[in-house]
Amino acid sequence: MNSPTTTTLCRAVCILLLASLRYATSRPLGGESVCTARQLARYSLTFTGKWSQTAFPKQYPLFRPPAQWSSLLGTAHSSDYTMWRKSEYASNGLRDFAERGEAWALMKEIEAAGEKLQSVHAVFSAPAVPSGMGQMASELEVHPRHSLVSFVVRIVPSPDWFVGVDSLDLCEGGRWKEQVALDLYPHDAGTDSGFTFSSPNFATIPQDTVTEITSSSPSHPANSFYYPRLKSLPPMAKVTLVRLRQSTRAFVPPVPGLVSRGNEIIDSLSVPETPLDCEVSLWSPWGLCRGPCGKLGTKVRTRYVRVQPANNGTPCPVLEEETECVPDNCI
């Protein structure tokens, strides 16, 4: 027969075990911290494009089409779902979005994840911006079990390049963050092998993983983001999320230094000046030696400018060179 003390101890142990099991099953995958906030939270999201000809002068798209941003597609989710991740393979939906701006397949993937894993709480979007410098805005709702936010915006034109956020956690312990601001840099989806903004479609076989594009990677002079003089690229865009008070859901509080205007072209944002050095071709072969018989003549070789310098970049060298020679076609 068990004593009252033994029975009480067994009950206490059972309660502790059950509590531990509940905690373990409620933890997100990967060991992330658990959000213990007691209610939903709403945020305003403002995406600001900083893709200017001053900051990114190399091969800057001026027409057919000019530099611009696609619509934004995002979701609030748990750690069971991944929209995209650096060093991992892009899904078919992300490929379609990054290459052509088609969102249907990506939306179906988000919907399937929500139905199968209950990992998606809400989907949000924002309209496209018809210029490299501009803003778009949206609102979104997060839940304690779905406190992560991911989104993508396609760089237009481009082979398969985009900017975005992967699994940004808006919860910190038991509190929702009041404001988050992040600089955004270009990424390659790994599905198209083009080097320039206007490259034709040329599928990457086998498919590569998602990688961040830097000033030195891909390390090829033809790359539109190749700026070997820079340690890092300037940010191509910025996203700011501000928590909305539940009592004033329709009111979007102002962000210091930033005004939310929907999708709008902005010309007054201060942007860095990225120096672009002159690039020239290789020398042509030497031309014929010209001159009178029995005397020294001259021959010439030329080269041409491939990239004009900008923003105090290195100026172009001489494009024509002359040297002495002996005519060999005298009669």
Residue 167 half-sphere exposure, CB side, CA atoms within 13 Å?
14
Please tell me whether residues 234 and 106 are part of one structural domain: yes
Residues 94 and 169 in one domain: yes
Q: What pLDDT was estimated at residue 261?
A: 40
Q: Are residues 189 and 299 in the same domain?
A: no
Q: What is the pLDDT of residues 24-38, one digit of tens each?
A: 333 444 445 689 998
Q: Give the three-state DSSP class for 79.
A: coil
| Percent residues over pLDDT 90 in the chain | 60
Between 331 and 255, whose confidence is greater? 331
Helix (H, G, I), strand (E, B) or coil at 324: strand
Containing 184, the helix (H) or strand (E) segment is strand 179-184
Where among 226, 246, 266 does a domain terminate? 246
User: Is residue 173 very low, low, confident or very high in pLDDT (cuts 50, 70, 90)?
Assistant: confident
Let me know: does 76 contact 143? Beta carbons within 8 Å.
Answer: yes
pLDDT at 13 exceeding the cut of 50: no
Q: Rounded CA gap, 258 and 240, in Å?
A: 9
Hey, what are 186's tokens?
Answer: 């270009």
* Res. 20: pLDDT tops 70: no
Q: How many domains does the chain have?
A: 2
**Is residue 32 in some structural domain?**
no
**Domain stops at, among 246, 271, 304:** 246
The predicted pLDDT at position 270 comes to 64
Residues 85 and 161 in one domain: yes
Alpha-carbon gap, residue 318 to 67, rounded angstroms = 32
200 domain-assigned: yes
DSSP result, 247-311: GGTT--PPBTTB---SSEE-S--------B--EE-PPPPP---BS-TTS-EEEEEE--EEE--BT
Q: Treating both helix axes as pointing N-terminal to C-terminal, what angle do 104-117 and 92-100 enclose, rounded to 10 degrees?
A: 150
- The DSSP 8-state label assigned to residue 319 in this structure reads S
262 assigned to some structural domain = no
278 belongs to a structural domain: no
What was the pLDDT predicted at 265? 53
Same domain, 196 and 322: no
- pLDDT, tens digit (0-9, with 9 covering 90-100), for 280-315: 889 999 998 888 887 888 999 999 887 878 877 788
Residue 63 lies in a domain: yes
Mean pLDDT of 147-162: 98
Assigned domain for 155 exists: yes
Handedness of CA 179, 71, 275, 87 (dihedral sign): positive
Average pLDDT of span 219-230: 90
The last residue of one of the domains, among 246, 279, 306, is 246
Q: What is the mean pLDDT of the chain?
A: 84
My answer on whether 93 and 185 are in the same domain is yes
Domain containing residue 198: CATH number:
2.60.40.2130
Tens-place pLDDT, residues 112-141: 988 887 899 999 999 999 999 999 999 999
Domain that holds residue 45: 41-246
Residues 216, 295, single domain; the answer is no
Determine the average pLDDT of the residues in 196-200. 92
Whether residue 10 is predicted with pLDDT greater than 90 in this model: the reply is: no
In this prediction, residues 91-105 reach a mean pLDDT of: 96
54 shares a domain with 164: yes
* Domain-located, residue 276: no
Indicate if 300 and 160 belong to the same structural domain: no
Residues 237 and 299 reside in one and the same domain: no
200 and 118 housed in the same domain: yes
Which range (195-204, 266-275, 319-328) has the least confidence?
A: 266-275
Per-residue confidence (pLDDT) for residue 229, from 0 to 100: 87
Over the stretch 60-87, which tens digit does the pLDDT of each residue have?
999 989 999 999 999 999 999 999 999 9
**Poorest-confidence range of 37-51, 91-105, 173-187, 298-312?**
298-312
Q: Are residues 206 and 293 in the same domain?
A: no
- Residue 142 maps to a domain: yes
